[in-house]
């Protein structure tokens, strides 16, 4: 564990005193230290294009009273800098008094190992794999015109100091391995992208030449898209494949169930607690406790242990995701969902691994039931307007369905729907639930955090497909 006071004129005792002096008349707050080591190694255009190593250190000091958050962060861990931050917080909150009333639950459960993935594998062996990826794909087919492959890894160490002088710590490894391939045939170009990752060492993902599977998948997606025809435009039935397409759940439902938007009543879900918001076949949870997954955390960024939170059970809205601020104001408890991108940002309620659980039907049944529609297997990304509930996501691999049979691949199209009504349109839930491969980053208020998603295949009765073929 990092000692944040080792090379500083600030002692732990000084820090505790400044924290208790600053927060004594506040409802909440903490001093958050963070040290992140990260690397990115990129192969592109037949060459190792860049190798970057980064080391980031800083603190974020937060004081909260009533609804007001005062925040100050700096890279300089010194007595002088922390005192300046303290004055800044006190001046913001001088006329707003609060009462600190939190007992932190302690948990010894760990969902990933305390390792530094960067140091666990030599740079030479990472370079070697990237070069193998390039050779493998270019030899596979002369139509391959561009290959990009990258490793990124980090180790983030955090320490939270509370008003009572408690210290809560976590060490979080995270890696990602990504391959992108461009194929050109008959004057057409298409790209296929695939990646894997999570909170483990690189070798856990790359054993048994697993990098070849990643290459094959990227190549397959690009090849499929080379044959793609114009996507249809208009409302139709949509079958979503298992795994990564669950970003539909993330965008359509997940963001709308975050505590802050519901406390502020700006979410389309804010008055629907306890009501039926989905077909009764639908159960959705947000789980921070899945071993080694990208969205998992031992403790959240306020020190609360993470948990498995049931959001929707058999179609009924059961819980929102909460950090401490929104939980206190909504008179409920934190679900361990308080997260921040890094020490430069305030805590917000965020998703971890958001999952729709298995039903009983098969993907085959779904496809057979569709006269005209599309089958969407993979997506690039999505976005939601929390207030109107409208959300989109972009297909990167999809096919037409005609008379119960899968037809031609279609060009990347945007799908658009309405969050509060989409889950009522889910008419079949499959028995083939899959976790995504560990590549998701969720953006909110300018902060990106790693997340996961999972779902079985599902059939949606009606969605608008944004193609060009009328």
Partner 1 sequence: MVKDQEYLQAKAEYCLSLAKKLGATNASVTVANSISETVSFRNKTLDESNRSDNLAISITTYQNKKKSSISSSNLLDENIRTLIEKCFEITKITPIDEFNSLPDKELLGKKIKDLNIYDDTHIENNKKIEYLKELEEFASLEKKIINTESSFTENKSNFILANSDGFCDGYKTSSFSASCITVAKDQNSMERDYDYTKKRYLNEIKNPKELGKVASENTVKKLKSNKIGSEKISIIFDKRIAKGILSAFASAITSSAISRGTSFLKDKINQQIFSSSINIFDKPDLIKGIGSQSFDTEGVHSDTIKLVDKGYLKEYLIDTYNGKKLNLKSNGRSGGATNLYFENGQINYNQLLKINSRSLYITETIGHGVNIVTGDYSVGATGFLVENGEFKYPVSEITIAGNLNDMFKNITLANDLSFDFATNSPTMMIDGMVVAGK
Question: Which of residues 358 and 421 has its CB atom nearest to partner 1 in the complex?
Answer: 421
What CA–CA distance (Å, rounded) separates 235 from 388? Answer: 19
Of 76, 164, 227, 280, the one binding partner 1 (CB under 8 A) is: 76
Stretch that binds partner 1, among 11-19, 56-64, 197-205, 296-304 (CB under 8 A): 56-64
Q: Residues 302-341: x/- map of binding to partner 1 (CB under 8 A)?
A: ----------------------------------------
Question: Which of residues 337 and 342 has its CB atom nearest to partner 1 in the complex?
Answer: 342
Of 55, 103, 108, 186, the one binding partner 1 (CB under 8 A) is: 55
The beta-strand segments (E) located in 230-342 are 233-240, 284-287, 308-313, 316-317, 338-339
Kindly tell me the burial class for residue 118, based on how many C-beta atoms sit within 10 Å of its own C-beta (0-12, 13-18, 19 or more): buried
- We find the least distance from the C-beta atom of residue 388 to partner 1, in angstroms, to be 6
- We find the least distance from the C-beta atom of residue 37 to partner 1, in angstroms, to be 10
Residues from 366 through 395 that contact partner 1 (CB under 8 A)? 380-388, 390-394
Q: Residues 391-430: x/- map of binding to partner 1 (CB under 8 A)?
A: xxxx----------------xxxxxxxx------------
- We find the least distance from the C-beta atom of residue 387 to partner 1, in angstroms, to be 4
Of 1, 3, 17, 53, the one binding partner 1 (CB under 8 A) is: 53
φ/ψ of 121, rounded to 5, equals -135, 135
Question: Which residues, listed in sequence order, are joined to residue 231 by a DSSP beta bridge?
Answer: none
Sign of CA dihedral 436, 442, 448, 452: negative
- We find the least distance from the C-beta atom of residue 25 to partner 1, in angstroms, to be 16
Q: Which two tokens stand for residue 397?
A: 């691999």
Residues from 213 through 232 that contact partner 1 (CB under 8 A)? 231
Residues from 89 through 118 that contact partner 1 (CB under 8 A)? 91-92, 96
- We find the least distance from the C-beta atom of residue 139 to partner 1, in angstroms, to be 19
Nearest to 352 by CA among 438, 275, 254, 451: 451
125: Cβ contacts below 8 Å, ≥ 6 apart: none
- We find the least distance from the C-beta atom of residue 339 to partner 1, in angstroms, to be 17
Question: Which of residues 20 and 40 has its CB atom nearest to partner 1 in the complex?
Answer: 40
Question: Which of residues 73 and 102 has its CB atom nearest to partner 1 in the complex?
Answer: 73
Q: Any idea what the Cα angle at residue 209 is, between residues 207 and 212, rounded to 5°?
A: 135
What CA–CA distance (Å, rounded) separates 466 from 321? Answer: 31
Sign of CA dihedral 11, 13, 19, 22: negative
Question: Which of residues 386 and 439 has its CB atom nearest to partner 1 in the complex?
Answer: 386
Residue 47 binds partner 1, judged by CB under 8 A: yes
SS3 446: coil
Residues from 250 through 269 that contact partner 1 (CB under 8 A)? 264-266, 268
φ/ψ of 360, rounded to 5, equals -115, -10
What single string gives the DSSP state of each residue in 344-368?
Answer: TS--EE--SEEEEPP-SB-HHHHHH
Q: Which two tokens stand for residue 38?
A: 């990260």
Residues from 265 through 294 that contact partner 1 (CB under 8 A)? 265-266, 268
What CA–CA distance (Å, rounded) separates 378 from 395? Answer: 6
Cβ burial 252-270 (10 Å sphere, 16+ → b, else e): bbbbbbbbbbbbeeebbbb
Q: Any idea what the Cα angle at residue 267 is, between residues 263 and 268, rounded to 5°?
A: 135
SS3 386: coil
Residues from 135 through 194 that contact partner 1 (CB under 8 A)? 145-146, 182, 184, 188-191
Bridge-based pairing of strands 447-455 and 440-444 is: antiparallel
- We find the least distance from the C-beta atom of residue 361 to partner 1, in angstroms, to be 27
Residues from 15 through 34 that contact partner 1 (CB under 8 A)? none
Stretch that binds partner 1, among 52-60, 170-178, 333-341, 350-358 (CB under 8 A): 52-60
- We find the least distance from the C-beta atom of residue 234 to partner 1, in angstroms, to be 4
Question: Which of residues 153 and 288 has its CB atom nearest to partner 1 in the complex?
Answer: 153
CA atoms within 13 A on the CB side of 419: 26
- We find the least distance from the C-beta atom of residue 11 to partner 1, in angstroms, to be 17
Residues from 193 through 212 that contact partner 1 (CB under 8 A)? none
What CA–CA distance (Å, rounded) separates 250 from 324? Answer: 22
| Total binding residues toward partner 1, as defined by CB under 8 A | 81
Residue 124 binds partner 1, judged by CB under 8 A: yes
Question: Which of residues 72 and 304 has its CB atom nearest to partner 1 in the complex?
Answer: 72
């Amino acid at each position: 564990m990092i000692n944040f006071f080792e090379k500083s004129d600030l002692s732990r005792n000084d820090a505790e005193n400044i924290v208790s002096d600053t927060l004594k008349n506040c409802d909440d707050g903490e001093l958050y230290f963070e040290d992140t080591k990260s690397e990115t190694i990129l192969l592109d255009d037949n060459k190792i294009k860049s190798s970057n190593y980064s080391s980031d250190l800083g603190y974020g000091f937060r004081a909260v009273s009533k609804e007001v958050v005062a925040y100050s962060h700096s890279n300089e861990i010194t007595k002088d800098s922390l005192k300046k931050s303290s004055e800044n917080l006190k001046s913001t909150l001088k006329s707003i008094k609060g009462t600190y009333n939190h007992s932190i639950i302690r948990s010894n459960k760990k969902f990933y190992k305390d390792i530094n993935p960067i140091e666990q594998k030599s740079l030479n062996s990472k370079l070697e794999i990237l070069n193998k990826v390039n050779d493998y794909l270019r030899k596979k087919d002369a139509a391959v015109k561009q290959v990009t492959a990258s490793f990124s890894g980090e180790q983030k160490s955090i320490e939270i100091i509370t008003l009572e002088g408690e210290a809560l710590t976590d060490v979080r490894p995270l890696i990602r391995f990504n391959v992108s391939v461009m194929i050109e045939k008959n004057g057409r170009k298409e790209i296929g992208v695939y990646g894997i990752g999570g909170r483990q060492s690189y070798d856990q993902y790359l054993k048994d030449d697993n990098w070849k599977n990643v290459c094959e998948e990227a190549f397959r997606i690009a090849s499929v898209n080379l044959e793609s025809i114009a996507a249809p435009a208009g409302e139709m039935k949509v079958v979503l494949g298992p795994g990564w397409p669950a970003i539909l759940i993330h965008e359509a439902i997940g963001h709308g169930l975050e505590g802050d938007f519901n406390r502020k009543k700006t979410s389309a879900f804010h008055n629907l607690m306890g009501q039926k918001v989905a077909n009764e076949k639908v159960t959705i949870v947000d789980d921070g406790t899945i071993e080694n997954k990208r969205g998992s955390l031992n403790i959240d960024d306020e020190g609360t242990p993470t948990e498995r939170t049931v959001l929707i059970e058999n179609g009924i809205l059961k819980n929102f995701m909460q950090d401490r601020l929104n939980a206190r104001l909504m008179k409920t408890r934190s679900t361990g969902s308080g997260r921040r991108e890094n020490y430069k940002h305030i805590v917000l309620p965020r998703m971890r691994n958001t999952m729709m659980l298995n039903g009983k039907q098969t993907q085959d049944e779904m496809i057979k039931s569709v006269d005209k529609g599309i089958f969407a297997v993979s997506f690039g990304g999505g976005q939601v307007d929390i207030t109107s509930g409208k959300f989109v996501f972009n297909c990167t691999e999809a096919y037409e369905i005609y008379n119960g049979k899968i037809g031609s691949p279609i060009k990347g199209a945007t799908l658009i729907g309405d969050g509060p009504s989409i889950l009522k349109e889910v008419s079949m839930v499959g028995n083939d639930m899959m976790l995504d491969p560990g590549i998701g980053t969720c953006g909110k208020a300018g902060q990106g955090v790693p997340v996961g998603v999972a779902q079985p295949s599902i059939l949606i009765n009606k969605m608008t497909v944004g193609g060009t073929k009328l």
